């Protein structure tokens, strides 16, 4: 058994971290996620989140609604511009 705070556990975690696949957004070849939230779109377009929601509901910004969440494709946003 490996205890979480032991030297052996620290060595094991450091050794296996390099073997794990990169986490979301960590890949150096694609640092930007393809799917964005409304707040990410607002920061990208330098608008308020409320404006992004209004434009998305009116159809001016392409989006998908999943449950109560709006999701935006980075490619579609860039193509819209």
What per-residue confidence (pLDDT) applies to 8? 55
Cβ atoms of 49 and 42 closer than 8 Å: yes
What pLDDT was estimated at residue 57? 94
Count of CB atoms situated within 10 Å of the CB of 54: 13
Task: Give the pLDDT score at 74.
Answer: 93
Residue whose structure tokens are 């330098």: 46
| Residue 61: exposure state from Cβ atoms within 10 A (0-12, 13-18, ≥19) | buried
Domain locations along the chain:
33-81
pLDDT mean values, one per 10 residues, the chain (81 residues): 53 53 54 85 95 95 93 93 88
The pLDDT value recorded for residue 33 is 74
pLDDT at 2 (0 to 100): 46
> What fold is seen in the domain 33-81?
Molybdopterin biosynthesis moea protein, domain 2 (3.90.105)
């Amino acid at each position: 058994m490996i205890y979480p705070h032991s030297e052996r556990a620290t060595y094991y975690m450091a050794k296996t971290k390099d073997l794990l696949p990169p986490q979301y957004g960590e890949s150096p070849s694609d640092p930007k996620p393809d799917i964005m939230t409304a707040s990410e779109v607002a920061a990208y377009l330098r608008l308020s989140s409320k404006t992004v929601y209004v434009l998305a509901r009116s159809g001016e910004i392409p989006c998908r609604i999943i449950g109560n969440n709006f999701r935006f494709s980075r490619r579609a946003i860039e193509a819209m511009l």
